[in-house]
Structure 1
Amino acid sequence: MAQESKPVAQVDVRNIGGIDEASVTLPEGVSILTGRNATNRTSFLQALMAGLGSRQSSLKGDAEKGEVTLVLDDETYTRTLQRRGDSVSFDGDPYLDDPELADLFAFLLENNEARQAVARGDDLREIIMRPIDIDSIEAEIRECKREREELESEIEKLDSLERDLSDLETDRREKVESLEAAREELESVNDELDELDTGIEESQTRKQELENAFQRVRDARSKLDNIEFDLETERSTLSELKAEREELHETIENAEKPDENADRLAGRIDELRGRKRSLDDDINELGSVINFNEDLIDGSGIEIYEGTPSDDPTDALNADGQTVCWTCGSEVGTDQIEATLDRLRELRSDKLDERSEIRAKIQELTDQQSSIREAEREIERAQERLTAVETEIESTESRIADLEDQIESKQEEIEELEQDAESIDVEGYDESIKLHREANEIELRIERFKDEIEEIDDEIDKREAAIERREELKSEREELASRLTELRTRVDRIEETAVEEFNEHMETVLEILEYENLDRIWIERRETEVREGRRKVTRTRFELHIVRSSSDGTAYEDTVDHLSESEREVTGLVFALAGYLVHDVYETVPFVLLDSLEAIDSDRIARVVDYFRTHADYLVTALLPEDANALPEEYAYTESID
């Protein structure tokens, strides 16, 4: 709720409800529209609702077009109503793009759903939760769970890396020890070679020739060793790829084939959504018709008859209980209109029930569609990966065959080089070639140890760097867990808050209004099992309790049906106020509109208005003069709307 002072709101109306033309200024705070019945107070409230974005307004019976202009905070908002055959279209640039919250919890006229839900014993929980996008919350929950699973998998890998780190360090120490031993062994062999070479009497040229021959052998053996290492790596890769291929085949074969087609479900969902939109329009239209006719019967509606109207609105009814039909101009019995109204109310109630059922069905089909598409995506990902693995296997097998050919060729080359070395005639050759071969093998081992130690060092560095990220990943996982908890409990929190708000405000209001033998009205939040389609699910229900006291002071539980009209109206208003506060409607629209409070006595109306005024920047209410007299003089009063 805004705390800063708000400027006045200017509302200009033409051809809405029973209004030809009207211009009303609404200052911040409480504005009272006072007057007898048939003075267009309700029509003005409906016009203001239209300017704020609602569709629950009616076009004047003899007009083809109506319009509302609202000037607020130096901004101008417009709404036009245009008759098109049997319906009325809405256009313009109103204050709200989506009026659902305001229609439910701020525009509290007689036909307001939140007020009527209490009187009819409707599902109060459905009214409170209607503005919540459950589909969006559940989609976000699924995304959070997917991200959490990925993080947990990565953290598990890092935990495994840390466990293996000590094994790597042990392996490194053993390789270093082996390297040092090989170097000592090489040094010993080289010493023997030096002694042998000293004793060999030959020309420097033949010695160099012998050394060069041995060097060519060493080089060839070194290359052979590298090729064999590459071959071992490729064979290991091939083994892993084949194991993955088997897993992918098993995943695809074991995947459950969906019973339904996701696209077919999408078509059914679209049909249901179209039906729901149609029901929304029907419910709004029925609400307007019901409200219009109720106003007509009680004398507060528009004046359809020709001639000069009497000051007494009851003159619209003749002595035989007849009134003028607003559609055809003929006289019909009031009881006939009441009967029609009952049928319209019943029809609207049926459509509300059907809309609830359609919502549940849409939710069920949307969940089913999401499950099917996720299963299809998993199979598709497995098939794509299988194709990639098959390609990698072919490439790896090709590289293995090429490496095997290289090894065979290199082995032949080494045999030829050794034969060349053996053909060199040098005294002491046999012992020398034996030592050179031994030195060559030791040097290869040394190079292999160096490479392995370098690989281990790189692996240790990578693992240590990765392990450092583990705390960051754990922090992200905790944030996701908190987000999941928040999403999972958001609906619960809204329900709990709605119940708390209602119970708290109801207790306060009952204390203020001082109803006799009415001790408490409160909502209990209960879990019940209901059937949705072919499955049973747990749903929350708001159960309304009424506690009274008998003349001897004994408390007993009563029902809504036994509430007086005044008590029922107050309960409906407080329930709407709970929704208004739970959904922070004051942040969406700065107005609260009240109408049809005649069932409440004047003194209590004054207390209700005083209680509600603290929750909105602008509180606009329509009252009869005798009820308005009980309110403070500092409120703004408008006595005539043309």
Structure 2
Amino acid sequence: MTIDESNAEDVEMSVSVRNVGGIEQASVTFDPGITVVAGENASNKSSLLGSLGAVLGGSPPPLRGGADAGSVTLDLDGERYTVELARAADGRPVVDDATPYTADRTLVDHFVSLDEDNPIRRAVVDGGDLHDLLMRPVDTEAIDAEIDRLHAQRTDLDERIADLDDRADTLPELEVRARRLRERRDEVSTRLESKREALAAADYRTADEATQDLLDALEEARAERERLRDRRDTKRRAVESLRDDLDAVESELSALDADLGGESVRSRLDDVASDLSALRERKGRLDETIDALRPIVEVNQALLADSRLPEGFDEGEVVDRLDPESEAITCWTCGQSVARTDVREQVEAVEAILQAKREERATVEERIEACRGRRSDLEARLEERSDLAERRRHLEREVEERERALSDLGERIDTVDERIRDLEADLDGAEADDDLLDRHREVGDLEYERGRLERDLAAVEDDIEAAEAAAAEADTLREERAEIRDRLSDLRDRIDRIEREAVETVNECMERVLDRLDYDGIERVWIDRRSDDHETVFDLQVVRTSDDGTVYRAAVDTLSKSEREVVGLVIALSGYLVHDVSATVPVVVVDAIEMLDAERIRGLLDFFDDHARYVVAAALPEEAEHLRPAFDTVSLESPGIATQ
């Protein structure tokens, strides 16, 4: 391995590869800046760059032929990252364990690993959906779900604010009522004090002892009636509050029953249990079928793979002297000689059945999970309904007990009223001063009137306090609603902002790169952003110049393949900038640019170097030789890299 150290600075990046692609063992160190990996076609440049992309967090690379395990290790910024590969029972390579540089595979596959299979490069070459690819890191479904959630939250706040406003709107009327009640109470209190003073100043010496006793008893009875009336009013308010709670519980029960479509929760639970049982039985049958087919596939794959060649054969001799597909092998079931192609066809047929069964099982497992989710939801609803029903029964008992207490208080008040009437009748028949009796009655009536006014005033003051609290709560909810409004506006604008930024970045980058690479006949390449059936579309546009200098708009497919590849690379790098990928992955890996000459490769890589800490690119030896004075160069012909 030869490296030009002229650009070395900062922290090195080291990659070690074992049994990946065509690489048996390789260890390469990259300095910050641009590094060109030089090698002929089929020299495993792509295996090395694909391994780097995988350990950065991209799609896993293929295992080396004949190897059962492989690995890629990355040392960067003082940390080590790894991808461990293994061969599955069906022969496919799988990731056995991984701690990649980033867990965001979309970022790496779309904007870091810019090989010939890069989705954005392929979309430009083949006419794919650029909008979907450039916007892939933006979770639009999650944004839409968040918008729906905020809409529901805002609707709930609107309803609560409207209810609170209705309660707060009663405040002026309540304050007027409270003022009038205070005025009447103060008036009655003044009259009561005057009557009491007059009664205290009266000369009772003319009243006999029996009359005095009647007056005392009458005063006690009236005081007792006031106490009982106060208790009755308190209990009546408590009953009204309990009835409000009971109405709320009834509403919740009705809403829950309506949400269930009139069916009982228990009945729906039974249906779900039946579905779950049937799905489990179906999965069990699929498991049995898969378990029966898998060994057949594995044994026959092993049989087909057992094609070791005699010693001394090199690769050319193998091609010239042996056609593996025509080779006969011994069937492990019947012992007869069978053409390899026949066995392969049968294995592929069984593999197709096995894959179909696995997919069917996956579908059944998803339905099982869905059933379990429905069961959990129904069980939660059943528990909720049970709690509500128990709450309703408790409230009904409370209301019944309070109403009995109210009835008892009413009977006790009636009894005291009767006693007061009897005492007043006894006083009428006694030889008492009529003026004295009238004064006692006036004092009693005024005491009752003042008590009633104070109770009414207390109730109105409670309502005023509740209305003021409702107004304050409504103001708080309005602030919350304003925050939700701003959040909704931000979410609606977010996708639009990213789309605009993506288009602007692509067009700016495209203009700069085309100027650097100096393509004859290409005047401009850019993206038009437009709406189509409520969906945003990114249209790639091309303006060319004819030999006579005429400027005209042309179709994308008028670009050469190399020009389209460059356009794809630039658009992918634009995504790297738009989504600030450098903050997550400071590396860009560029492969499959053999169609470009050395000068254009240099211009392209210089542009990439402006935006990434490490740029690793593959090039053929002749181009790499021209680039060696400007960039670090890694040769895959080094003894440190062993290939097949």
What TM-score, normalized by structure 1, do the two folds share? Answer: 0.74
Aligned residue number for residue 111 of structure 2: 105
Shift of 1:435: 3.1
SS of alignment partner, residue 15 of structure 1: strand
1:482 matched to 2:486: yes
Shift of 1:465: 5.0
For 1:237-386, list aligned pairs within 5 A.
Answer: 237=241, 257=261
CA distance 1:617–1:515, change in 2 (3 Å): same
Q: Which one-letter code corresponds to 1:120 in the other structure?
A: D
* Aligned partners of 1:51 and 1:79 also within 8 Å: yes
* Aligned partners of 1:521 and 1:545 also within 8 Å: yes
Aligned residue number for residue 564 of structure 2: 568
Q: Which moved more, 1:80-89 or 1:131-140?
A: 131-140
In the alignment, the residues of structure 1 paired with residue 310 and residue 521 of structure 2 have an alpha-carbon distance, to the nearest angstrom, of 46
Deviations 1:18-55 (A, max 9, x none): 22222211011111111322322112112222332333
Identity percentage of aligned residues = 34
Residue in structure 2 matching 1:411, options 411, 414, 426? 414
**Structure 2 unmatched ranges of 5 or more:** 1-8, 280-308, 328-365
Shift of 1:240: 5.1
Shift of 1:250: 7.2
Residue in structure 2 matching 1:599, options 595, 599, 602? 595
* Aligned partners of 1:29 and 1:617 also within 8 Å: yes
How many residues are paired up?
552
Aligned residue number for residue 547 of structure 2: 551
* Aligned partners of 2:232 and 2:409 also within 8 Å: no
Deviations 1:513-566 (A, max 9, x none): 22222122222223233xxxxxxxx33222222222333444333222221012
Shift of 1:475: 2.6
CA distance 1:547–1:168, change in 2 (3 Å): same
SS of alignment partner, residue 198 of structure 1: coil
Residue in structure 2 matching 1:138, options 127, 144, 149? 144
1:226 matched to 2:230: yes
In the alignment, the residues of structure 2 paired with residue 557 and residue 251 of structure 1 have an alpha-carbon distance, to the nearest angstrom, of 62
Shift of 1:394: 5.2
RMSD: 4.3
Shift of 1:431: 4.4
CA distance 1:403–1:326, change in 2 (3 Å): farther
1:525 matched to 2:529: yes
Shift of 1:257: 4.3
Q: Which one-letter code corresponds to 2:408 in the other structure?
A: D
In the alignment, the residues of structure 2 paired with residue 432 and residue 324 of structure 1 have an alpha-carbon distance, to the nearest angstrom, of 141
* Aligned partners of 2:542 and 2:555 also within 8 Å: yes
1:438 matched to 2:442: yes
1:64 matched to 2:68: yes
* Aligned partners of 2:214 and 2:423 also within 8 Å: no
1:172 matched to 2:175: no
For 1:494-509, list aligned pairs within 5 A.
Answer: 494-509=498-513
SS of alignment partner, residue 615 of structure 1: coil
In the alignment, the residues of structure 1 paired with residue 576 and residue 73 of structure 2 have an alpha-carbon distance, to the nearest angstrom, of 25
SS of alignment partner, residue 492 of structure 1: helix
SS of alignment partner, residue 566 of structure 2: helix
Aligned residue number for residue 448 of structure 1: 452
In the alignment, the residues of structure 2 paired with residue 12 and residue 250 of structure 1 have an alpha-carbon distance, to the nearest angstrom, of 66
Shift of 1:568: 0.5
SS of alignment partner, residue 594 of structure 2: coil
In the alignment, the residues of structure 2 paired with residue 160 and residue 227 of structure 1 have an alpha-carbon distance, to the nearest angstrom, of 30
CA distance 1:243–1:39, change in 2 (3 Å): closer
Shift of 1:174: 0.2
CA distance 1:420–1:305, change in 2 (3 Å): farther
SS of alignment partner, residue 428 of structure 1: coil
Q: Which one-letter code corresponds to 1:178 in the other structure?
A: R
In the alignment, the residues of structure 2 paired with residue 494 and residue 258 of structure 1 have an alpha-carbon distance, to the nearest angstrom, of 46
* Aligned partners of 1:14 and 1:20 also within 8 Å: yes
In the alignment, the residues of structure 1 paired with residue 167 and residue 493 of structure 2 have an alpha-carbon distance, to the nearest angstrom, of 36
* Aligned partners of 1:59 and 1:66 also within 8 Å: yes
Shift of 1:594: 0.4
1:610 matched to 2:614: no
Deviations 1:413-470 (A, max 9, x none): 3313542464467532554334323321211221232333344444434544553455
* Aligned partners of 1:200 and 1:428 also within 8 Å: no
1:491 matched to 2:495: yes
CA distance 1:390–1:258, change in 2 (3 Å): closer
In the alignment, the residues of structure 2 paired with residue 595 and residue 376 of structure 1 have an alpha-carbon distance, to the nearest angstrom, of 56
* Aligned partners of 1:231 and 1:404 also within 8 Å: no
What TM-score, normalized by structure 2, do the two folds share? Answer: 0.74
**Structure 1 unmatched ranges of 5 or more:** 271-303, 310-314, 331-361, 530-537
